[in-house]
């Protein structure tokens, strides 16, 4: 018998002998009753002891949680059954009655009953609500070791040392205790004539079956959760399986294997397995259907006494001599691999499926791996090879096996794979397109194998390696218990080593630059060269991780999804109600597999980590975007910003003035600080503001702060320092007013105001000082008068020698007028963006010069235009372009097919389109085609387009050293290999022209850069002339673009012509007026036509051509648009209507339909002879026939032409 590689211990406790165990149905709790009289309550997930209950006297053997109420029951060797409330942590009451040890206690799943089994040979049922004994079942004639309720029916199973198992029917008891109102006549009859009463006349609980088969005492009995099966464990070392029907019960089979007393046994809640434990120190697992041993687990020293299963999840607990272990039988992590938009995973049925992240659909099963490993062992890992569409699956069975299987092209169902390559190995991963590595832990060797499963190379990994992972192309990561080693397979060289212990999983970022090393409680982020970037610790077990595209790691613990930036900043994204394994992050969705191997999508709010990421990358635009679009405010983000040294950004979020003030000071934003100080107006704040402002040299603010604080001394000194004499004297006045002599004296000194000083001395009767002052400043008269006032003469006083009086220097620079100049505080682009400075100004610089005051209108018109841009339905498509499908297939002369002809030759042969001939380098034939299709004669302007197409047609692949590179031809038919169908790629496809070039042209129109505009639109014409499209619809689109380009070129040329004219002469003025009128004729986008109309209207109005102005105004009003624009039109209309006459007669019939000749810029009225250009459809007077089209500059006006071909059905 093999020992189990799969038993995964989740929790172990150390204590005295554990006799009873109970799982909490919802919380990660387990109750353990000990031989030492203690009951322990553990959180097995966190590994912490939550509580201890110690009221029993002697060993406690029975224990059970109530399924819904916050209580549990215990039974011990003190004959007592105790019911506890774990919230109040008290024993609520004790049920007395048993006369010997109580072996097991269980709650009924719905009734308020407790079932107990005792050494007094009875089984009792108690009602815990009225705390009474309601039934005593006698019949066993030895200790009853175990008694359990049936999970759904009114049955009880009991096991006794009298070697029997009994099944009891308690339906009578239920009837008796259910509501008495529904007693029917039959019931009364039945009660009156107790047919099945036992010898004491007891009908409440009667023995239904006695199962005899064990040769020794029976220790445990369990019902199957759904099937009519019973399993029992006895001192005869056997596990016996019994089946029952309504009328009988019989032994089915025996599981032999325990070599000591079997203590307990149960059915696996979800799988066809039996688990048993025994005093032979083993946990054994049996196949329910075959009754063979599936696996076993042995402890060295401890005998097992009890086993329990979690009712919901895949967890078991077993009690032994020195504690309890909680374990699962198998890994629940589904094997999976992600490649681009696909997830490959193995279901519980061992089917390989894929999941498309783009469409969010599961594929049907693609393969069945039923034969891989043993039936009870799920595959461990899956590695996917996109180049070969193969998977590599490992299973831990038999010390590890791997299989290499090619996936079928289409998922057609769970077929058995054909052509499977297999071998022995602990781990196996693809390391390159055609190589995989197999690691065998037993002999510590890594074999590099090719796809035929032949070993090409062998590597000795570092000592103690436990696992291998893909390490980037051509490299492997060796995982040892204390380190991770990056190894180059080709050079057989260790590239790097990182000391990080206990790594279990490695998750590579999508761009392959970073990897996350996951261990039980740590995530270490490393670069692809194995340099540690950051590391973080979790107290809760880490289960899985996935990278989002921006380089943020999302990881799941048992109960949370969290994120970590590269710098180690982390936080919680959401909680989880069940364990999941992340596989991919896409936008707001996290894809994961749950424990039943079903793909699930979790919605997350990525705002927080995106914001932090933007902050780290200083991507302020994105931050701004996030702030604007989400409700990201709150203390946490502010303190985060502050802590990370971004007070100026935090400032933008804060509303609270106090906090704003603090932040403003911190980032030196005085304006905001002043604003907030005003709002709060507290001396303390003004004081701090003053200090800060002083440091900035912002003395005006300092002044204000001092004023607010009424800090006169400082204020005076500030005025002195800044040389503000005027204010200083005002300060003196204030001091005088306040009667503050010290201050007044000081101010006087500051100002050098001797008179005031003397005056003050006199006022305070300090005549000697007053005299001295006067005397020393040479104010003799004043001195005399002081003496006089004191009634003294000069002889009566003695004076020391008088020095030169103090002269206060006069300020030279009027510093007070302005603050100390500082370099303008650099507003971060973030702040700018917030203040709306970014983006606004830049594109508006392109002023329109039709009329200066039109700027606003243009902007408005642009807005308007942008709304209408999508709407091309209203376009008049202009004249027909003859695109006919009958253009003959051009016969290109070339060498015979087959050997030696280049792909370029094939292109020319495969296509009748000019663009394809250009790409093939066959310029002559291309020109022939164009000449025939659109009458092209002047090819010079097309040269850049020719060269562009030609240059883009070939790549240069360096091959052998010393030889020129291999030339390969770039195709637009990427999937095509048939040489008769390959076609070249043509740069600037229709989509680019429509989305990029055309918009540039419009922008040029808006910005009034007409010369550029003409160039751009001509470029568009040339790009379309040599191009290919993929559908008839695109041909139509191309025609529309040609027409648009034509109209714009015509309009712009007319306006350019007008600008080149002088209006000084009457002829010039007349022609100008005409041209400005013609400018309104071409079919431009409405917003652009409004510009033309506006210009024409104003020009006509200014020259008193009111009739024309009126017609333009009317057309503008009919077009609608921005109110401002229309307002002007209305004004002009009103004015013009007063005298609707033209002062200068111009050739412009506002009521007639006409075209404009693109050469002479004169009208071509309907009916008059004209010719048109075969390519652009531009109209000309007849005299221009045979010249080069002014619009396209390539084609000949009026030339015979079959029409431009851009598309061959079935070709693309």
Partner 1 sequence: MDPFSAEGELINIHNAFHQGQYPAVIEFDTSALSPENQLPARILQLRAQIALGQSDAVLADVAGEEDTPDLAAVKALAQHTAGDANSAYTLAQELAENYPDNSSVQVLAGTVLQAQGHSEEALALLTKHQGNLEAVALIVQIHLHQNRSDLALKEVQAAKRWAQDSLLVNLAESWVGLRVGGEKYQAAFYVYEELASAPSTAAPLSIVGQAVAELHLGRLPEAEAALSAALETYPDEAELIANAIVLNVLAGKSTEDLEQRLQKTQPLHPLMSDAQEKSALFDAAAAKYAPRVSA
Measured from the CB atom, the residue of 103 and 954 that comes closer to partner 1 is 954
Say which residue the tokens 């291309």 belong to.
926
With binding defined as CB under 8 A, does residue 1003 bind partner 1? no
204 in contact with partner 1 (CB under 8 A): no
Candidate residues 987, 1009, 1040, 1057; the one interacting with partner 1 per rule CB under 8 A: 987
Q: Which of 96, 132, 444, 473 binds partner 1 (CB under 8 A)?
A: 473
Q: In which residue are the tokens 């000081």 written?
A: 746
Binding part of the chain for partner 1, among 626-634, 728-736, 982-990, 1166-1174 by CB under 8 A, reads 982-990
Residues 502-521 that bind partner 1 (CB under 8 A): 512
For position 996 contacting partner 1 by CB under 8 A, the verdict is: yes
Of 374-382, 816-824, 876-884, 957-965: span binding partner 1 (CB under 8 A): 957-965
Please list every residue from 886 through 905 that binds partner 1, using CB under 8 A.
899-903
Structure tokens that stand for 967 in this block: 């030339």
Whether the CA torsion 450, 453, 459, 463 is positive or negative: it is positive
Q: Is 47 left (phi over 0), alpha (psi -120 to 50) or beta?
A: left
Q: Is 322 helix (H, G, I), strand (E, B) or coil?
A: coil
Residue 474 found at the interface with partner 1 (CB under 8 A): yes
Does residue 453 bind partner 1 (CB under 8 A)? no
Query: Minimum distance from CB of 1195 to partner 1 (Å)?
Result: 9
Least distance CB 1096 / partner 1 (angstroms) = 28
Q: Which residues are registered as beta bridge partners of 107?
A: 114
Smallest separation (angstroms) from partner 1 to the CB of 992: 5
Token pair of 563, please?
């994120």
Q: Extract long-range pairs of 461-466: CB within 8 Å, 24+ residues apart.
A: 461/485, 461/487, 462/494, 465/439, 465/441, 466/441
Q: Which of 287, 784, 948, 1057 binds partner 1 (CB under 8 A)?
A: 948
Instruction: Give least dist CB 980 to partner 1, A.
Output: 13
The window from 237-245, 461-469, 886-894, 931-939 that contacts partner 1 (CB under 8 A) reads 931-939
Contacting residue, 460, 733, 943, 1059, with partner 1 by CB under 8 A: 943
The 412-451 contact track toward partner 1, x by CB under 8 A, reads: --------------------xxx---------------x-
Q: Residues 275-295, buried b or exposed e (16+ Cβ, 10 A)? A: bbbbbbbbbbbbbbeeeebbb
Give the whole-angstrom CA distance, residue 308 versus residue 784: 117
Subset of residues 128 to 157 that bind partner 1, contact rule: CB under 8 A: none
Give the interface size with partner 1 as a residue count (CB under 8 A).
75
Task: Report the residue number, 759 or 901, with the smaller CB distance to partner 1.
Answer: 901
Closest to 534 measured CA to CA, from 570, 566, 506, 508: 566
| Contact status, residue 723 vs residue 815, Cβ threshold 8 Å | yes
Q: For residues 973 and 1063, which CB has a smaller minimum distance to partner 1 in the complex?
A: 973
Distance CA 422, CA 1062 (A): 90
Question: Residue 1018, interface with partner 1 (CB under 8 A)?
Answer: no
Pattern 529-548, binding to partner 1, x per CB under 8 A?
Answer: x-------------------
Q: Which of 387, 415, 764, 1134 binds partner 1 (CB under 8 A)?
A: 387
Residue partners of 1007: CB distance under 8 A and separation at least 6: 846, 848
Degrees (nearest 5) of the Cα angle 547, 548, 553? 45
**Residue ranges in 685-704 that form contacts with partner 1 under rule CB under 8 A:** none
Nearer to partner 1, 271 or 928 (CB): 928
Among 584, 777, 988, 1046, binds partner 1 (CB under 8 A): 988
Could you tell me which stretch among 285-293, 391-399, 945-953, 1040-1048 binds partner 1 (CB under 8 A)? Answer: 945-953
Is 1200 a binder of partner 1 (CB under 8 A)? no
Q: Note whether 1169 binds partner 1 by CB under 8 A.
A: no
If we measure between CA atoms, which residue out of 374, 380, 472, 370 comes closest to residue 414?
370
Sole binder of partner 1 in the list 3, 88, 968, 1031 (CB under 8 A): 968
CB-wise, 785 or 931, nearer to partner 1?
931
Coil, strand or helix: which one is 467?
A: strand
Query: Cβ(721)–Cβ(713) under 8 Å?
Result: no
Judged by CB under 8 A, which of 878, 921, 1001, 1013 binds partner 1?
921
β-sheet with 570-575: strand ranges across: 542-547, 553-557, 560-564, 570-575
User: What does the alpha-carbon distance between residue 104 and residue 112 come to, in Å, rounded to a whole number?
Assistant: 17
The piece of 111-119, 263-271, 955-963, 1039-1047 that touches partner 1 (CB under 8 A) is 955-963
1102 in contact with partner 1 (CB under 8 A) = no
In this complex, which beta carbon is closest to partner 1, that of residue 433 or of residue 1131? Answer: 433
Distances (CA, A) of 372 to 126, 388, 392, 398, 595: 51, 21, 12, 11, 20
How many whole angstroms separate alpha carbon 477 and alpha carbon 161?
Answer: 57
DSSP bridge pairs for 660 = none
Q: What values do phi and psi take at 611, rounded to 5?
A: -60, -45
Distance CA 567, CA 523 (A): 12
- Cα 1095 to Cα 864, 1059, 1072, 1113, 1144: the distances in Å are 18, 12, 12, 11, 17
Q: In 3-state terms, what secondary structure has residue 1106?
A: helix
Torsion of CA 631, 637, 638, 644, to 10 degrees: -140
Which distant-in-sequence residues (6+ apart) come within 8 Å of 464 by Cβ? 480, 481, 482
The pair of three-digit structure tokens given for residue 114, joined into one six-digit string: 């407790």
**Does position 348 bind partner 1 by CB under 8 A?**
no
Q: How far is the CB of 913 from partner 1 (least distance, A)?
A: 17
CB of 923 to partner 1, least distance (A): 5
Among 1196, 1202, 1205, 1207, binds partner 1 (CB under 8 A): 1196
Distance, in Å, from the CA atom of 947 to the CA atom of 965, rounded to the nearest integer, reads 21
Q: How far is 684 from 699, CA to CA, in rounded Å?
A: 18
Q: Find the shortest distance in angstroms from Cβ 1201 to partner 1.
A: 13
Q: Please check whether residue 108 is in contact with residue 126, taking contact to mean a CB–CB distance below 8 angstroms.
A: no
Binding status of residue 967 toward partner 1 by CB under 8 A: yes
Residues 1129 and 1110: their CA atoms lie apart, in Å, by 9
For partner 1, which residue of 389, 460, 951, 1131 counts as binding (CB under 8 A)? 951
* Dist. CA 1087–CA 1089, nearest whole Å: 5
The rounded Cα 46 to chain-centroid distance in angstroms is: 29
Minimal distance in Å, beta carbon 1020 to partner 1? 12
Distance in Å, CB of 453 to partner 1, minimum: 13
**Residues from 603 through 622 that contact partner 1 (CB under 8 A):** none
Sheet of strand 381-385: strand arrangement: 381-385, 390-395, 401-406, 421-424
Site for partner 1 contains 965 (CB under 8 A): yes
Q: Does 924 bind partner 1 (CB under 8 A)?
A: yes
**Does the footprint of partner 1 cover residue 358 (CB under 8 A)?**
no
Q: Binding pattern to partner 1, positions 478-497, x when CB under 8 A?
A: ----------x-xx---x--
> What is the distance between the alpha carbons of residues 840 and 832, in angstroms, rounded to a whole number?
11
Q: Which stretch binds partner 1 (CB under 8 A): 57-65, 331-339, 391-399, 943-951?
A: 943-951
189 scored as a contact of partner 1 (CB under 8 A):
no
By CB under 8 A, which span of 57-65, 948-956, 1108-1116, 1146-1154 interacts with partner 1? 948-956
Residue selected from 53, 355, 950, 1099 as contacting partner 1 according to rule CB under 8 A: 950
Shortest distance in whole angstroms from residue 1186 CB to partner 1: 4
* Residue 1212 contacts partner 1 per CB under 8 A: no
Between 444 and 992, whose beta carbon lies closer to partner 1? 992
């Amino acid at each position: 018998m093999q020992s189990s590689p799969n038993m995964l211990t989740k929790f172990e406790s150390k204590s005295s002998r554990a006799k009873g165990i109970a799982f909490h149905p919802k919380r990660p709790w387990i109750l353990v009753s000990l031989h030492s009289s203690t009951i322990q309550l553990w959180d097995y997930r966190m590994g912490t002891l939550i509580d201890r209950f110690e009221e029993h006297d002697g060993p406690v053997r029975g224990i059970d949680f109530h399924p819904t109420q916050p209580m549990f029951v215990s039974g011990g060797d003190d004959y007592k059954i105790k019911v506890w409330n774990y919230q109040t942590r008290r024993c609520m009451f004790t049920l007395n009655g048993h006369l010997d040890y109580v072996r097991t206690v269980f709650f009924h799943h719905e009734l308020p009953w407790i079932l107990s089994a005792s050494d007094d040979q009875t089984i009792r049922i108690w009602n815990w609500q009225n705390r009474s004994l309601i039934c005593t079942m006698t019949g066993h004639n030895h200790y009853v070791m175990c008694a359990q309720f049936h999970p759904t029916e009114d049955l009880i199973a009991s096991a006794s040392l009298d070697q029997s198992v009994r099944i009891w029917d308690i339906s009578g008891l239920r009837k008796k205790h259910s509501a008495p109102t529904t007693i029917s006549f039959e019931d009364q009859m039945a009660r009156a004539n107790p047919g099945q009463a036992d010898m004491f006349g007891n009908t409440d609980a009667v023995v239904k079956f006695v199962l005899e088969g064990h040769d020794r005492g029976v220790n445990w009995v369990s019902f199957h959760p759904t099937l009519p099966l019973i399993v029992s464990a006895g001192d005869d070392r056997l596990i016996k399986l019994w089946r029952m029907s309504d009328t009988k019960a019989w032994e089915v089979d025996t599981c032999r294997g325990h070599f000591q007393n079997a203590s307990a046994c149960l059915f696996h809640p979800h799988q066809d397995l039996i688990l048993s434990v025994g005093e032979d120190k083993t946990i054994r697992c049996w196949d329910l259907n075959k009754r063979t041993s599936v696996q076993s687990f042995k402890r060295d020293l401890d005998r097992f006494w009890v086993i329990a299963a979690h009712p919901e999840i895949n967890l078991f607990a077993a009690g032994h001599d020195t504690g309890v272990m909680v374990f699962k039988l198998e890994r629940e992590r589904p094997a999976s691999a992600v490649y681009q938009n696909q997830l490959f995973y193995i279901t519980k049925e061992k089917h390989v499926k894929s999941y498309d992240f783009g469409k969010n659909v599961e594929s049907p099963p693609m393969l069945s791996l039923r034969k891989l490993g043993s039936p009870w062992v799920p595959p461990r890992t899956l590695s996917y090879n996109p180049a070969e569409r193969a998977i590599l699956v490992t299973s831990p069975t038999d010390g590890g096996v791997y299989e290499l299987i090619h996936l079928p092209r289409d998922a057609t169902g769970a077929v058995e794979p054909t052509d499977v390559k297999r071998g022995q190995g602990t781990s196996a991963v693809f390391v390159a397109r055609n190589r995989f590595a197999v690691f065998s832990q037993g002999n510590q060797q890594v074999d590099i194998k090719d796809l035929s499963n032949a070993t090409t190379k062998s590597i000795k990994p570092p000592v103690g390696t436990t696992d291998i992972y893909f390490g980037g192309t051509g490299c492997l990561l060796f995982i040892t218990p204390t380190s991770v080693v990056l190894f180059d397979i080709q050079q057989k060289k260790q590239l790097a080593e990182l000391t990080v212990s206990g790594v279990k999983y490695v998750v590579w970022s999508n761009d392959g630059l970073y990897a996350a090393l996951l261990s039980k409680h740590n995530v270490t982020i490393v670069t692809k060269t194995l340099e540690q970037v950051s590391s973080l610790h979790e107290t809760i077990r880490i289960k899985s991780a996935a990278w989002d595209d921006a380089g943020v790691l999302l990881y799941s613990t048992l109960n949370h999804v969290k994120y970590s930036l590269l710098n180690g900043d982390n936080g919680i994204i959401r909680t989880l109600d069940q364990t999941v394994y992340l596989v991919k992050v896409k936008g707001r969705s996290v894809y994961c597999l749950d424990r039943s191997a079903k793909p699930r999508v979790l919605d997350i709010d990525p705002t927080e980590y995106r914001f932090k990421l933007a902050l780290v990358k200083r991507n302020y635009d994105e931050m701004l975007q996030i702030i604007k679009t989400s409700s990201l405010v709150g203390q946490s983000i502010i303190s985060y910003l502050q802590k990370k040294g971004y007070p100026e950004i935090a400032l933008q979020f804060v509303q609270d003035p106090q906090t704003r003030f603090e932040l403003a000071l911190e980032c030196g934003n005085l304006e905001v600080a002043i604003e907030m100080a005003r709002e709060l107006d507290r001396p303390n704040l003004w004081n701090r503001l003053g200090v800060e402002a002083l440091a900035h040299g912002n003395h005006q603010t300092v002044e204000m702060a001092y004023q607010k604080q009424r800090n006169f001394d400082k204020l005076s000194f500030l005025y002195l320092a800044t040389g503000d004499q005027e204010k200083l004297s005002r300060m003196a006045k204030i001091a005088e007013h306040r009667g503050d002599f010290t201050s007044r004296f000081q101010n006087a000194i500051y100002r050098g105001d001797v008179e005031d000083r003397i005056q003050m001395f006199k006022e305070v009767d300090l005549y000697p000082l007053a005299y001295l002052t006067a005397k020393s400043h040479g104010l003799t008269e004043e001195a005399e008068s002081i003496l006089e006032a004191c009634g003294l003469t000069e002889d009566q006083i003695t004076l020391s020698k008088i020095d030169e009086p103090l002269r206060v220097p006069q300020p030279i620079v009027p510093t007070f007028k302005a603050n100390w100049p500082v370099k303008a505080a650099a507003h971060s682009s973030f702040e700018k963006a917030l203040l709306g400075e970014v983006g606004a100004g830049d594109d508006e610089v392109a002023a329109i010069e039709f009329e200066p005051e039109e700027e606003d209108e243009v902007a408005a018109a642009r807005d308007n235009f942008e709304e209408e841009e999508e709407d091309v339905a209203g376009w008049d498509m202009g004249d027909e372009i003859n695109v006919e499908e009958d253009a003959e297939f051009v016969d290109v002369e070339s060498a015979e097919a087959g050997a030696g002809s280049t792909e370029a030759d094939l292109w020319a042969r495969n296509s009748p389109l000019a663009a394809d001939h250009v790409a093939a380098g066959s310029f002559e034939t291309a020109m022939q085609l164009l000449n025939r299709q659109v009458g092209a004669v002047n090819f010079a302007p097309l040269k850049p387009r020719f060269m562009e197409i030609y240059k883009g047609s070939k790549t240069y692949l360096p091959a052998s050293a010393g030889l020129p590179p291999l030339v390969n031809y770039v195709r637009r038919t990427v999937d095509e290999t048939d040489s008769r169908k390959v076609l070249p790629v043509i740069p600037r496809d229709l989509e680019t022209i429509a989305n990029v070039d055309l918009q540039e042209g419009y922008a040029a129109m808006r910005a009034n850069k007409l010369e550029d505009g003409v160039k751009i639109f001509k470029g568009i014409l040339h790009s379309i002339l040599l191009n290919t499209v993929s559908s008839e619809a695109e041909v139509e689109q191309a025609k529309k673009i040609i027409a648009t380009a034509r109209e714009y070129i015509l309009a712009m040329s007319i306006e350019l012509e007008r600008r080149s004219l002088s209006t000084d002469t009457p002829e010039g003025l007349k022609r100008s007026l005409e041209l400005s009128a013609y400018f309104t004729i071409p079919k431009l986008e409405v917003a652009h036509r409004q510009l033309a109309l506006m210009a024409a209207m104003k020009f006509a109005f200014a020259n008193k051509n009111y009739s024309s102005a009126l017609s333009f105004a009317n057309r503008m009003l009919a077009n609608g648009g921005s109110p401002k624009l229309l307002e002007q039109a209305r004004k002009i209309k009103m004015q013009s209507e007063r005298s609707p006459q033209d002062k200068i007669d111009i050739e412009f019939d506002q009521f007639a339909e006409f075209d404009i000749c693109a050469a002479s810029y004169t009208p071509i009225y309907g009916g008059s002879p004209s010719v048109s250009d075969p390519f652009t459809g531009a109209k000309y007077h007849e005299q221009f026939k045979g010249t080069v089209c002014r619009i396209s500059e390539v084609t000949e006006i009026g030339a015979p032409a079959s029409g431009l071909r851009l598309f061959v059905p079935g070709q693309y």
